[in-house]
A and B are shown apart, each in its own frame.
Chain A
């Protein structure tokens, strides 16, 4: 049986040559992301912005958008966002936080139920008051920060510090570009988006670790080669695996995006984006950092000298 190979065998691409393109490009995209975040902003869902969102479906099966809009606007609840979603005739109504504190949200739900309850089935009602949304923002941000610190601490113990720095920069890059993705697409940013971001961070580091592991291995073996040559050699060696894994994860996410329903579509979209960014950054951002930091094969010498006598002792005793 002829087996399928997406990645060509025994490649010798000069990945490191591209750093003169990839660094300015990534720097530019990161700046754009920050600027977009500051000046355009994300489309925060009710988890973080507070407010009320209901998903209704006409009992008769007939969606009359104009009528829904008119009814909703007549309720005196401020601006009501009306949006048709999916193919099942679902309509999403979204209200901003109502004045009058927590009680205001409750009044709004009651008004919506009164206005639409007769002709529409309420498929879901979500309402987040101002105090809870503020806390969710806090715990979401804290979660992302703590996750990054925890993972990087692990890397710092496990690898030489230069590798950890490369991983930090790669992770920040992926994080920024994912934020940029949410700003550009205006996909709703909610709690599942935080889950997506953390998973992207995990995946990004997973990719980085695989590449760095190999670089370290090759560096120990070929001390005479230049760092760029070593990195190119390592990336080419793990390239089939990188492509293979990115593809399997991508296939799974694709199924999720198209078939998983609208509730998690923004999650799947962000994850798909994240897989691409993470794969790119592990090759073109994290690894070249080692060149800039002047990592050479001899960074391992001290460690090895310290380790080997101990190992020899152990052997001698055994």
Chain B
């Protein structure tokens, strides 16, 4: 009991010193910490404790990639591919190409033509993940029926596309949100088909939703001629001023080939517009289409709505062009941002949204601090009132326990949330339990007539097994809460879990050392509790 190696004392003191250094930055102004952190090597954990969005204010959004829209886009692309194949193969269709929920049916009455089409269309089915991946199955089931050829997207292909859609969405969202000028934004995948966005400091999500809510798929389609077959044209609404316009379904050029878009002004009217530039491939396609269709109106379609349909006056071969559409300069500039960032591969739906304003965040910090201070003071006083000098030891250990929680959270980069603060306050009440177990045991042993030193020894020894057992159960609860909980509740699990570990260290090891040092100095003849 009385003997412990000096290095143990030294290492405990060193741990306390390190912990103090770790938490110091959290009490300094944030910009000072940033400046200092820039000057030290990156492995030095000079940083502030991370506050959750519920404390610092900000917006959290969970978005789901709409599987149905991924499938729909795939089916449409498939239809275009099929149409191209049939044209290239000069196959006469008896009933056109019908799109279905998950596939395309090509109606061909003639047996020979159907066989020819079947062998052509089989080429459309690719190994999943590209030709090199192999072994994962194919993208399409192609079957020949009595009336035509049926092409169906496989489950594996859809899952693969959704996965791609999520990764691609994250890239696009990063570009879009960064253009808004926010900082420390987190955009990450969650589960199979979800993306979460966290933006500290953002309060009103209306603008954010405008920026991320649009797919921003830009298509150029020719306005329909009266002679076009009915199943090859579609009627789309105008984006502004109501009204509709009928265009050919076939997409001549799309926004995927855009490399740049900037807000600019029309040279003649001075109205805001958007100037875009294609890559080489897009520029060539655009040039070809505009050359072949001079004099025809060309519809510029964004997310299924027609922005405008100017008449092609002359071939546009330079790879750049303008989009006009009675824009305000603000509309033109957000359209430019959207086009620059690229189209989302699928529609994203907001499934969960939480925003906390800075006012409530600060109030929560203040309330949490007040509760922690008052709770700690009550416990400290009560411990001293009950155990006298031993209470002081327990309280010193408690102070170190709190220090260790903050230090370990800073070191791990764990997030402090309001439930996390509640967890810390709870562990303040719980941490002294180990001391209580030890002290009560010491009292009992002393009552049994043991000497002071042997009562102290027996108290620590016998209480230890109970301390471990009882803390394991609490720790398991915290661990599971961390695994199954989400958001701010995880913060509670983190502080509870860390608190249990640190409290065993402080309440057992440190108190023991303090009592040993005290015993050597005072040489008491009876236990003071």
Contact = CB atoms under 8 A, between A and B. Distances in A.
B382 interface: yes
Interface residues of A, number: 81
A248 B432 contact: yes
A contact face: mostly helix, strand, loop, or mixed: helix
5 contacts: A125-B355, A126-B354, A154-B472, A206-B471, A209-B469
A60 interface: no
Interface in A146-185: 146-147, 150-151, 154-155, 158
Nearest to B434: A245
A123 B353 CA distance: 14
Contacts of B444: 237
Interface string B485-529: 111110011001000000000000000000000000000000001
Contacts of B308: none
Interface of A: 1, 3-6, 10, 55, 57, 88, 101-103, 105-106, 109-110, 113, 121-129, 131-132, 136, 139-140, 142-143, 146-147, 150-151, 154-155, 158, 191-192, 194-195, 198-199, 201-203, 205-207, 209-210, 213-214, 237-238, 240-241, 244-245, 247-256, 258-261, 263-264, 267-268, 271
Interface residues of B, number: 79
A194 B429 contact: no
B385 A209 contact: no
A123 B488 CA distance: 17
B379 interface: yes
A122 B350 contact: no
B232 interface: no
A261 B364 CA distance: 7
Interface in B350-407: 350-357, 359-360, 363-364, 367-368, 370-372, 374-376, 378-379, 382-383, 385-388
Interface in B129-179: none
Q: Which 10 A-B pairs have the closest CB atoms?
A: A143-B484, A252-B429, A261-B367, A202-B477, A255-B375, A249-B429, A202-B474, A205-B473, A252-B375, A147-B480
Nearest to A133: B352
A154 B479 CA distance: 14
A74 to B, nearest CB: 21
Given A128-B352, A139-B484, A150-B476, 17 more contacts: A3-B529, A88-B363, A102-B64, A113-B206, A122-B357, A123-B359, A132-B62, A154-B472, A191-B487, A195-B481, A201-B477, A248-B433, A251-B378, A255-B371, A259-B371, A261-B371, A263-B418
B389 to A, nearest CB: 9
Nearest to B394: A248
Interface stretch (B22-30, B219-227, B330-338, B420-428): B420-428
A123 B360 contact: yes
A250 B360 CA distance: 26
B189 interface: no
A206 B470 contact: yes
Contact of A124 (B360, B447, B478): B360
Query: Which of A10, A150, A238, A251 has the most chain B CB within a 10 Å cutoff?
Result: A251
Contacts of A106: 209, 350, 353
B473 A206 contact: yes
A143 B349 contact: no
B419 interface: yes
A158 to B, nearest CB: 6
Given A129-B352, A267-B422, A5 B386 contact: yes
A198 B480 CA distance: 9
Query: Which of B204, B370, B492 has the most chain A CB within a 10 Å cutoff?
Result: B492
Contacts of B440: 238, 240-241, 244
A313 B382 CA distance: 48
Interface string B184-207: 000000000000000000011110
Nearest to B209: A106
B386 A256 contact: no
A251 B354 contact: no
Nearest to B475: A202
B237 to A, nearest CB: 18
A253 B473 contact: no
B466 A210 contact: yes
B422 A256 contact: yes
B307 interface: no
A292 B376 CA distance: 41
Interface string B54-94: 10000000101000000000000000000000000000000
B477 A147 contact: yes
B436 A255 contact: no
Contact of B485 (A105, A143, A241): A143
Contacts of B426: 199, 249, 252-253, 256, 271
B465 interface: yes
Contacts of B352: 127-129, 132
B428 A202 contact: no
A113 B204 CA distance: 9
A276 to B, nearest CB: 14
B355 A122 contact: yes
Contact of A102 (B350, B382, B383): B350
B483 interface: yes
A198 B205 CA distance: 33
Contacts of B486: 136, 139, 191
A110 B64 CA distance: 19
